[in-house]
Structure formats: C-alpha cells, structure tokens
Structure 1
Amino acid sequence: MYAARFDGLFEQGRDAVLTGAGQRQVPPVDGGNRWVMSVVLRPDAATARRIEDVTRGAMAVAGGEHWPTGKADSAHFTLRALENHRASVPDGDARVSRYIEALRTASSTVGPVRLTLSGLTLTPGCVMLCAEPPDDAIERLYDAYGAALGEDGRLEAGFDRNIWYSTLVHFTSPLADPQAVVQWVGERRHLALGEVDCRHAELVVHRFNGSRMVMQALDAVSLSRRP
C-alpha cells in the first residue's frame, strides 16, 4: 500500500521536474499555510546521521542553493499540522497549552512509534525519505491525537494523511540538471536505511535561518511508556 503511493509520487515528481513544472519553496510568512506549527517525530541520533548523509548526496545532485531539510538537526516525520505559520509564539500561549495537553492524552494510549525507512521518492517540490510503519502505532497515535484535539484539530479536519515521510531536500529554484536528480532518486527508490524508534513527539514551529528551515521545539511528550 505505502510502496504504491510512493511510486505514484515518484511518477508525479519525475514528470514535473523533467517538464520544468516543479514547485519552489520560499521562506514562510506570518499566517501562511506552509511551514505551519506541527507535532513531529524526530529520529534517534544515529538514524539522523544516516538521513543527513543521504541528504548530502541529494544536495550534491540538486545543487547547494536548495534547502537541506534532512540535516540531522531538522530531520523529522510530521504527525499532524495544527495551525498556520506564526512568526512569534508568546510564552504561556493558550493554544500551545491545549495542543500539548491533547498530545499527552493521546500518547498515553499508544507507546513508542516505529518506522521502517524504505527508500527515496520524488515530488514536484522535494526529495523525500519514505517511511513505512511495521504496525499500527503511528495511525493509532494520529487518530487519538485528532480525537483529543477536538476543535483544535480543524486544520487537518478532512485531510487524509496516508503516507509518512521525512523531506530531505526542498527545491527553491529550477534544477540545473533535472534528469540527474530523477536518475539519482530513482536509483535509491528502495534504499533501506533501517528502522527508527521514535520515543518523543514534539510541538514545533519552523524558522528560516537564511539558508534553510530549522525547527524550534515548544514542548515535547514522551512516547516511551507503553499503555
């Protein structure tokens, strides 16, 4: 099921990249619908280094002007998007408190989340690392979090988050050699990077540091305790 979805993405991405119809990232603006406040799962340190190594290879083919989102300090798997981009989040923010309380409630029913890193794929705007869950933990966490959020989950109400992934490179300009990018990703479509055990869920905002997007954690909840 997941493999077919990622294959479909690769075909879409290949066609867009080769015809010059790819998407371009720009730094987010306050109130925008990109780089929104989210709950993410981060890989362990060893897996993050492996992801960064692959990101380095992708950047060498794509070009240094693009964003290396898969660097070790920013690699992540988005669990749920919560609200549009906010340039500033004050201490004691009421919505942040509710998001975290709902996350505590949801996490108490699930335990650790595992993902198998099964290869790369291409979209019109990025190179992705594909993740396939070996069990239903991440889906149960997603559903439980949506239920705990109630009205605060409106941003993804009706949205089907049916794949799990970590973006390695976001494209910010036309690719100098689109064919080389398509070939490089295609050769790594089934690159196995092992399994990652995610033991924390973090509420984060995204910030542009001048050369790429980085994450600022607002709070975190442990996933290590089994219910």
Structure 2
Amino acid sequence: MYAARFNSLFEQGRDAILAGAVQCQVPPVDGGSRWVMSVVLRPDAATARRIEDVTRNAMAVAGGGHWPTGKADSSHFTLRALENHRVLVPDGDARVARYIAALRKATSTVGPVRLTLSGLTLTPGCVMLCAEPGDDAVERLYDAYGDALAEDGWLEAGFDRNIWYSTLVHFTSPLANPQAVVQWVGDRRHLALGEVECRHAELVVYRFNGSRMVMETLDAVPLSHRP
C-alpha cells in the first residue's frame, strides 16, 4: 500500500521535474498556508545523522540554494498540521494550550511510534524519505489526536494523511540538472536506512533562518504509554 503511493509520487515528481515544472519554496508569511504550526515526530539522534548524510548527498546533486530540511536538527515526520503560519506566538497562547492538552490526551493511550525508512521518492517540489509504519501506533495516534482536537482540528478535517515521510530537500529554484536529480533519487528508491523509534511528539513552529527552515519547539509530550 505505502510502496504504491510512493511509486505514484515518484512518477508524478519525475514527470514534473523533467518538464521543468519544479515547485519552488519561498519563506513563509504570516497567515500563509505553508510551514504551518504542526505536531511532529523527530527521529533519534543516530537516525537523524544518517538522514543528514543522505540530505548532504541529495543537495550535492540538486545544487546550491535549495533548503536542506533533512539536516539533523530539522528532520521530522509531520503528524498533523494545525493552523496557518504565525510569525508571533505569545507565551500563554490559548490555542497552543488547547493543542497540547489534546496531545496529552491522545498520547495517553499510544506508545512510541516505529517507522521503517524504506527509500527515497520525488515530488515536483522536494526529495522525500519514505517511512512505513512498523505497527498501527502512528495511525492510532493520528486518529486519537484528531478526536481530541475536535473543532481545533479544522485545518486537516478533510485531509487524509495516508503516507508518512521526512522531506530531505525542498527546491527553491529551477534545477540545474533535472535528469541527474531524477536518476539519483530513482537509484535510491529502495535505500534502507533502518527503523526509527519516535518517543516524543512535539508542537512546533517553523522559522526561516536565511538559508533554510528550522523548527522551534513550543512543547513536547512523551510517547510512553505501555499496554
């Protein structure tokens, strides 16, 4: 199931990139629909370093100026997006408090999330690392969080998050050698990077640091439940 979805993404990304239809990222603006406040799962330190190594190689093929989102301090798997981009999030923000309360409720019945990192894929705007769940924990967590959010889950109310992935490179300009990028990713469609166990869920906002997007953690909740 997951392999078929990632294969379809690769075909769409390949065709768009070879046609010169790269989707380019720009820094987010207040109220924008990209780089929104989200709950994410981060890989452990050792896995994050492996992801960063692959990201470095992907950047070498894609060329300078793109965003290396897969660096160790920013690699992540998005669990759920919550609201449009906010430049300022004050201390004691009421919505943040509700998001975290809902997250604590959702995580009370779900333990660590395990994902198998099974290869790379391509979209018109990025290079992705594919992840396949080792059990049903991530789906249960996603559903439980949606239920706990209630009306606060409006942003993804009609969205089916049916794949799990970590973006390695976001494209910010046309590719100097599109064929090389397609070939490089295609050769790594089944690159095995092992299994990752995510032990915390973090509420984050994204900030542009001048060369890439980085995450600022507002709060974190452990995934420590054991049946």
TM bin, normalised by shorter chain, reads over 0.9
| Aligned counterpart, 1:212 | 212
Distance of 2:7 and 2:226 partners within structure 1? 34
- What is the Cα deviation at residue 225 of structure 1? 2.7
- What is the Cα deviation at residue 36 of structure 1? 0.1
Write out the 4+ residue segments of structure 1 that deviate beyond 4 Å after TM superposition: none
1:19 matched to 2:14: no
Distance of 1:110 and 1:65 partners within structure 2? 39
1:182 matched to 2:182: yes
Aligned AA for 1:217? T
| Aligned counterpart, 2:161 | 161
Distance of 2:208 and 2:158 partners within structure 1? 29
- What is the Cα deviation at residue 81 of structure 1? 0.1
Distance of 1:3 and 1:134 partners within structure 2? 14
Distance of 2:100 and 2:158 partners within structure 1? 21
For each residue in 1:93-125, what CA deviation from the matched residue of structure 2 results, as whole angstroms up to 9, or x when unmatched? Answer: 000000000000000011110000000000000
Distance of 1:138 and 1:148 partners within structure 2? 15
Is contact 2:31–2:84 with CA below 8 Å preserved after alignment?
Answer: yes
- TM-score when normalising by structure 1: 0.99
Aligned AA for 1:15? D
| Aligned counterpart, 1:172 | 172
- What is the Cα deviation at residue 226 of structure 1? 1.8
Distance of 1:15 and 1:149 partners within structure 2? 38
1:141 matched to 2:141: yes
Distance of 2:167 and 2:224 partners within structure 1? 25
| Aligned counterpart, 1:54 | 54
Distance of 1:213 and 1:147 partners within structure 2? 30
Distance of 1:165 and 1:73 partners within structure 2? 16
- What is the Cα deviation at residue 224 of structure 1? 2.2
What are the residue-to-residue correspondences of 1:29-48 with 2, within 5 Å? 29-48=29-48
Is contact 1:78–1:164 with CA below 8 Å preserved after alignment?
Answer: yes
Distance of 1:185 and 1:8 partners within structure 2? 14
Q: Residue 149 of structure 2: SS of its match in structure 1?
A: helix
| Aligned counterpart, 1:108 | 108
Is contact 2:109–2:225 with CA below 8 Å preserved after alignment?
Answer: no
| Aligned counterpart, 1:200 | 200
Distance of 1:221 and 1:185 partners within structure 2? 34
Distance of 1:82 and 1:133 partners within structure 2? 22
Is contact 1:68–1:212 with CA below 8 Å preserved after alignment?
Answer: yes
Distance of 1:157 and 1:99 partners within structure 2? 15
Aligned AA for 1:200? H
Is contact 1:119–1:130 with CA below 8 Å preserved after alignment?
Answer: yes
- What is the Cα deviation at residue 163 of structure 1? 0.2
Aligned AA for 2:105? T
| Aligned counterpart, 1:85 | 85
Aligned AA for 1:130? C
| Aligned counterpart, 2:67 | 67
Is contact 1:70–1:169 with CA below 8 Å preserved after alignment?
Answer: yes
Distance of 1:161 and 1:134 partners within structure 2? 17
Distance of 2:41 and 2:181 partners within structure 1? 27
Is contact 1:108–1:226 with CA below 8 Å preserved after alignment?
Answer: no
Identity of aligned residues (%): 87
